Chains A and B, each alone.
Chain A
Amino acid sequence: QKEVEQNSGPLSVPEGAIASLNCTYSDRVSQSFFWYRQYSGKSPELIMSIYSNGDKEDGRFTAQLNKASQYVSLLIRDSQPSDSATYLCAVRTGMTTDSWGKFQFGAGTQVVVTP
């Protein structure tokens, strides 16, 4: 079982609609959760971080975290063609009293926003 799992997609979303991306993780003691956007041929770019259960909103993006269910999601409202990219879920795992832990990434969900 992979530590971080995402649906690979592609997720096709009409322009102006809401894109919903899901991610599950296996390490119960994980405390830090991130969403990165990666355009084709580019490196990952951080778009959201979330550390507590509940919702966190930043512009058109909303991250949701449920630690009991080991689930984190990303909503993109009013989707634009420029949102077409691969979205990577990252979880900071393996944290101990002596180490901050490593980033584990899912394989990413490709989002395609159609005009």
Chain B
Amino acid sequence: EAGVVQSPRYKIIEKKQPVAFWCNPISGHNTLYWYRQNLGQGPELLIRYENEEAVDDSQLPKDRFSAERLKGVDSTLKIQPAELGDSAVYLCASSLDSDRFPVGTEAFFGQGTRLTVV
């Protein structure tokens, strides 16, 4: 079974330029997460989707970040314009959640996209 797939793996852009990240979750997983991880810190949630609905985007800097998950499968995270402080690893994760297991199941991560803004 294929895992969570992210692209690109690495991206270097100049500040003020736009950038987009793509994520394909594990087949059948209904919950999708975007996290940002800075060096030496744990992942920080940016946005969480349950199917195509963004159920938690409270930590997403909405002035420059946007995300979409069309048809409840693939997702794209965009930054426009990028700032130097956006340099980080952007992680996508997915989980299969069901009413049959109401406590919530584990999440699996993609390889991440390392963004460097210069």
**Which residues of chain B have C-beta atoms less than 8 A from A95's C-beta?**
102-104
How far is it, in angstroms, between the C-alpha of A112 and the C-alpha of B102 when the chains are bound? 36
Q: Does the CB pair B31–A100 fall under 8 Å? A: yes
Q: Cβ of A82 < 8 Å from any Cβ of B? A: no
Q: Cβ of A32 < 8 Å from any Cβ of B? A: yes
Q: Cβ of A43 < 8 Å from any Cβ of B? A: yes
Q: Does the CB pair A44–B43 fall under 8 Å? A: yes
Q: Which residues of chain B from 30 to 88 have a CB within 8 Å of any chain A CB?
A: 31, 33, 35, 40-45, 48, 50, 55-56
Q: Which residues of chain A from 24 to 63 have a CB within 8 Å of any chain B CB?
A: 31-32, 34, 36, 42-46, 49, 51
Q: Which residues of chain A from 45 to 91 have a CB within 8 Å of any chain B CB?
A: 45-46, 49, 51, 88, 90
Chain A interface size, under 10 / 10 to 19 / 20 to 34 / 35 or more: 20 to 34
Q: Identify the closest chain A residue to B89 (Cβ).
A: A43
How far is it, in angstroms, between the C-alpha of A31 and the C-alpha of B109 when the chains are bound? 21
**Which residues of chain A have C-beta atoms less than 8 A from B112's C-beta?**
43
Q: Does the CB pair B43–A34 fall under 8 Å? A: no
Which of B56, B104, B109, B110 is the one whose CB lies under 8 Å from A92? B104
How far is it, in angstroms, between the C-alpha of A104 and the C-alpha of B42 when the chains are bound? 9
Q: Does the CB pair A105–B104 fall under 8 Å? A: no
Q: Cβ of B91 < 8 Å from any Cβ of A? A: yes
**Given A45-B109, A49-B106 in contact, is the A107-B56 Cβ separation under 8 Å?**
no
Which residue, B41, B91, B110, has most C-beta atoms of chain A within 10 A? Answer: B41
How far is it, in angstroms, between the C-alpha of A113 and the C-alpha of B112 when the chains are bound? 26
How far is it, in angstroms, between the C-alpha of A112 and the C-alpha of B107 when the chains are bound? 25
How far is it, in angstroms, between the C-alpha of A94 and the C-alpha of B103 when the chains are bound? 11
How far is it, in angstroms, between the C-alpha of A51 and the C-alpha of B106 when the chains are bound? 11
> Which residues does B use to contact A, with CB under 8 Å?
31, 33, 35, 40-45, 48, 50, 55-56, 89, 91, 93, 95, 97, 102-112
Please list the 9 inter-chain residue pairs (A to B) with the smallest Cβ-Cβ separation, ordered nearest first: A105-B42, A31-B103, A100-B104, A43-B109, A92-B104, A100-B97, A32-B104, A107-B42, A43-B112
